[in-house]
């Protein structure tokens, strides 16, 4: 079992090598310049690596990029093995990163909350209290005199 620092260094190396190879070495038109490697994680035994990526475009371009990455997996693994110099080159698994979609969802929810807050602010602009301005009961002077006579 390798230590976490070694797995982290290998993950960083894999991310750099794969990104450089996609940018310069792979001539697949499906990959192009709209594929971005966002993160890489390596298992503790250094046998498997998960490469997270994003694709800027529509669903059709995402599917094409996924197929392109699957077809280039062998070339990318060979390049990682050459650069890493480890006894066993980890297998590569490409996973679409959900972070941009999650960020868009959070942004849309925050926009809805801002709009709702603005509506409440507009509705309460001219509002007045339902009762008196001071809602607390204060003893009347008549009540104090009644208590002292008893």
User: CA torsion, points 78, 79, 85, 91, in degrees to nearest 10?
Assistant: -50
Whether the CB-CB separation of 52 and 97 falls below 8 Å is answered with yes
The residue-averaged pLDDT of 75-91 equals 88
Domains with residue ranges and CATH for the chain: 3-98 (3.30.300.20)
More confident call, 12 vs 133: 12
User: CA torsion, points 32, 33, 39, 45, in degrees to nearest 10?
Assistant: 40
Res 148 pLDDT > 70: no
d(CA 19, CA 25): 10
For residue 52, the model assigns a pLDDT of 93
Whether the CB-CB separation of 97 and 38 falls below 8 Å is answered with yes
- Reported as a single tens digit per residue, the pLDDT across 46-67 is 899 999 998 887 888 888 888 8
- Reported as a single tens digit per residue, the pLDDT across 122-134 is 888 877 777 776 7
């Amino acid at each position: 079992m390798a230590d976490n620092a070694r797995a982290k260094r290998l993950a960083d190396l894999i991310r750099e090598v794969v990104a450089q190879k996609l940018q310069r070495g792979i001539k697949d038109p499906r990959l192009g310049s709209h594929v971005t490697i966002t993160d890489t994680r390596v298992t503790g035994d250094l046998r498997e690596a998960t490469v997270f990526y994003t694709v800027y475009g529509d669903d059709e371009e995402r599917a094409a990029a996924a197929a392109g990455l699957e077809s280039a997996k062998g070339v990318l693994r060979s390049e990682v093995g050459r650069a890493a110099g480890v006894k066993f080159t980890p297998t590569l698994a490409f996973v679409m990163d959900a972070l941009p979609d999650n960020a868009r969802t959070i942004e849309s929810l925050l926009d809805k909350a801002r709009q709702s807050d603005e509506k409440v602010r507009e509705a309460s602009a001219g509002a007045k209290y339902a009762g008196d301005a001071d809602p607390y009961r204060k003893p009347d002077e008549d009540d104090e005199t009644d208590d002292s006579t008893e």
